[in-house]
Amino acid sequence: LIIRYGLVRLIVEKILRYDIPEYSHITRYFKYVACQKPYLTVAQVLARFLWAITHIFWTTEWLKVLWSNKVTFLVGGRTVKERYQFHRGHTILVNIWGIIGYGYKSPLLFIYGSGKKGAFCQNNYLSQVLAPHIEGIMEAFAAITHLLRPSAEPLFMEDSNSAHGHESIRNYYTRWYTEHGIILMPHPSTSPNINPIKKY
């Protein structure tokens, strides 16, 4: 019995120490850092509630919204959320931006990030997304929303990414949108994520 117990213990130790880590590495399973999100303040909760009440009866109105999103992939290494270090220069940041709406899907835009370690910055967003592409995208989507009954102007939904700037009158992006006739869909900075493009 003692010999059998010792044998079982050796097998279990081997599995835990060698086999599972090796299998995890091969299958790309890693320990991840939990997503850290601060608690909502009373003002943020109230802003979310008022936004939800304002839009509770929306039905066909959602058809006029263009939903955008930017995603970053790390190619050639592990993700930044893993609890493991990787060698510098072994990973490449790839920033991709896209937008969807009712009956519409934009081409994917590959964006060069000039920030720290290839991060996506405000000037990248303006020079590579807004200035060359957004007006054409809005015009193409407007051709669809104008066929709705009642006809509607498209709304542009952005998330709260810092690269988009803060929604204020003094913000450069807000002025740029106004000058180019682009209507942003207002939403609280901490609103629940209902963006359908993030679900894929």
Q: What is the pLDDT of residues 85-130, one digit of tens each?
A: 444 555 677 888 999 999 999 999 988 888 777 777 888 888 999 9
Q: What is the C-alpha to C-alpha distance for residues 77 and 155, in angstroms, rounded to an integer?
A: 37
Comparing 71 with 142, the larger pLDDT belongs to 142
Of the chain, the percentage scoring pLDDT greater than 70 comes to: 63
Give me the CATH topology for the region 54-199: Nucleotidyltransferase; domain 5 (3.30.420)
Strands (DSSP E) contained in 55-145 are: 65-75, 92-101, 104-105, 109-111
User: Please, which residues bridge with residue 109 across strands?
Assistant: 97
What is the domain partition of the chain in residue ranges? Answer: 54-199
Q: What share of the chain is helix, strand, coil (3-state, %, to 5)?
A: 40, 15, 40
Q: What is the C-alpha to C-alpha distance for residues 197 and 98, in angstroms, rounded to an integer?
A: 8
Pairing assessment for the beta strands 104-105 and 109-111 based on DSSP bridges: unpaired
> Residue 6: what pLDDT?
58
Are 109 and 129 in contact by the 8 Å Cβ rule? The answer is yes
> Residue 30: what pLDDT?
52
Q: What is the pLDDT of residues 8-64, one digit of tens each?
A: 566 556 554 554 455 455 555 555 555 667 788 899 889 888 988 999 999 999 999
> Residue 36: what pLDDT?
66
> Residue 63: what pLDDT?
94
Main-chain dihedrals φ then ψ at residue 157, nearest 5 degrees: -100, 120
> Comparing C-alpha atoms, which of 190, 180, 182 is closest to residue 157?
182
> Residue 131: what pLDDT?
92
